[in-house]
Homo-oligomer: A and B are copies of this chain.
Amino acid sequence: MIALNFDKTADGMLPAIAQDHHTHEILMLAYINKTAWEMTLKTGKAHYWSRSRNKLWLKGETSGHIQIIHRILVDCDEDTVVYQVEQVGQAACHTGHRSCFYRQIDGDHLVAEGSRIFDPAAVYGRKSS
């Protein structure tokens, strides 16, 4: 199993970027520890470590919007990875947008692009995943 540089950070967390495997759109960034990394490699589904809930997080465990791994890229320092994925349900963001990066800077404003793919209240109730 490929080893990453988990000792580099005090909390053993490294960033993982999820990117659409076809369009290369960046969908989200979340954190992985050794457990999440190993589960991702083992299952072929993107796992992260939820820092707010302090538990292993299979992306889509609540919404069903899992991320199927097509390819994993590792950076020069082995402290960041890119998951190239197929995003089931089209949307990665808990707000219902395709990407968490759905806003761009325009002068002193943030301007949203595109519309919501799903209604978060209908998918999560009051929770987010």
Contact = CB atoms under 8 A, between A and B. Distances in A.
Contact of A25 (B15, B24, B97): B24
Scoring A76, A80, A95 by chain B CB atoms within 10 A of each residue's CB, the highest score goes to A76
B105 A74 contact: yes
Contacts of A97: 76
B104 A76 contact: no
Contacts of A41: 105
Contacts of A109: 2
Given A75-B29, A76-B94, A82 B108 contact: no
A28 interface: yes
B15 A26 contact: no
A122 interface: no
A105 B101 CA distance: 26
A100 B72 contact: no
A94 B41 CA distance: 27
A72 B28 CA distance: 14
